[in-house]
Amino acid sequence: MRTNPVWCGVILFLFTIMCAAGEAQAAAPRAQVLVLGTWHFDNPGLDVVKSEVADVLSAEKQAEIEQVVEALARFRPTRIAVEARRAQAEKLDTMYAAYRDKQHTLGRSEVQQLGFRLAARFDHERLHPIDHPGEFPFGAVMQYAQEHDLAFVERVQRVMGEIAAEQKRRQQQKSIGEILRLENEPEEIARGHAMYMEFAAVGAGDTYVGADLLAKWYARNIRIFSDLQKLAQPGERVLVIFGAGHAAILRELIRNDPRLDLVEAGDYLPAP
């Protein structure tokens, strides 16, 4: 078969461009990305595991939050991404602008208690909402398991009970900085993510309802990551404040992007 010289030229041209782009990418300073996994300070009750949380507006907790903010400020973020959706951007901008003008009292959410304080400290014009809606068919998985795998149901119920009890104990006994340090340890992040892996086996060879749950959970986080990539331009220092359940996937994606450097949250939290 004879090779078309025109196509050879096109392929060579594209290859040259790709090589040049790769060299430029390698020369550019990588963006630094710190993922701070957290619980929801305002406890909206949207997570599968329901837990009790301390009132972050109390004088004691406000002092603890100030310590966390002081520690995180050492990261010197140039952009702050938060768990809010694009449709909420205008409302977020309005509240943040009012806060900077001393016309808004911070609410309980981590977006405001941590995000607003840090953004204002570094004179950011806005925070960046990068969350996306997504399906999480937990009920369908548990219904299938109830009919086909009671041992799995019992394990999930036991683990969820243990998690709720541990979260309650931490809220009662530890400071906000101490809890954040625990939740952002790589080992704890891995343990939390392992449960999602177990869900994948539910319905294998039949409905694949568990695999579908895992795929949808990844799809949501990959969309979040795609917006994060837009923010994380060369030289930026991006602080991502998100629910701890998202941390494992976001960290995995960041580690595998050659343009990004993953920064450990524990390096910028109050010392134990």
Encode pLDDT of 246-272 as tens digits.
999 999 999 999 999 999 999 999 988
* Tokens read off for 53: 């949380």
pLDDT of 50: 44
The closest of 204, 223, 195, 176 to 54, measured between CA atoms, is: 176
pLDDT of 48: 46
Question: Rounded distance, CA 136 to CA 258, Å?
Answer: 30
pLDDT of 25: 56
Interior/surface letters 236-261, b for 16+ CB within 10 angstroms, e for the rest: bbbbbbbbbbbbbbbbebbeebebbb
Triad 110, 164, 137: Cα angle to 5°: 80
Sequence spans of domains, the chain: 31-272
pLDDT of 207: 97
pLDDT of 23: 58
State whether residue 109 is helix, strand or coil: coil
Q: Is the pLDDT of residue 9 over 70?
A: no
pLDDT of 219: 98
The answer to whether the CB of 204 falls within 8 A of the CB of 211 is yes
Measured torsion, CA atoms of residues 40, 45, 50, 53, in degrees rounded to the nearest 10:
40
* Tokens read off for 186: 């790589």
State whether residue 261 is helix, strand or coil: strand
Distance, C-alpha 147 to centroid of its chain: 33
The answer to whether the CB of 268 falls within 8 A of the CB of 71 is yes
DSSP letter at 115 equals: I
Indicate the pLDDT class of residue 45, thresholds 50, 70 and 90: very low
DSSP letter at 181 equals: H
Ranges of H-type helices in the chain: 5-27, 59-72, 89-100, 110, 117-121, 138-148, 150-173, 176-183, 186-199, 209-231, 247-255
The closest of 47, 56, 41 to 109, measured between CA atoms, is: 41
The answer to whether the CB of 109 falls within 8 A of the CB of 42 is yes
pLDDT of 272: 82
Which percentage of the chain shows pLDDT scores above 90?
Answer: 85
Q: Is the pLDDT of residue 49 over 60?
A: no
State whether residue 22 is helix, strand or coil: helix
* Mean per-residue pLDDT, 45-61: 74
67-119: pLDDT as tens digits: 999 999 999 999 999 999 999 999 999 999 999 999 999 999 999 999 999 99
Q: With residue 17 as reference, give the H or E element that holds it.
A: helix 5-27
159-201: pLDDT as tens digits: 999 999 999 999 999 999 999 999 999 999 999 999 899 999 9
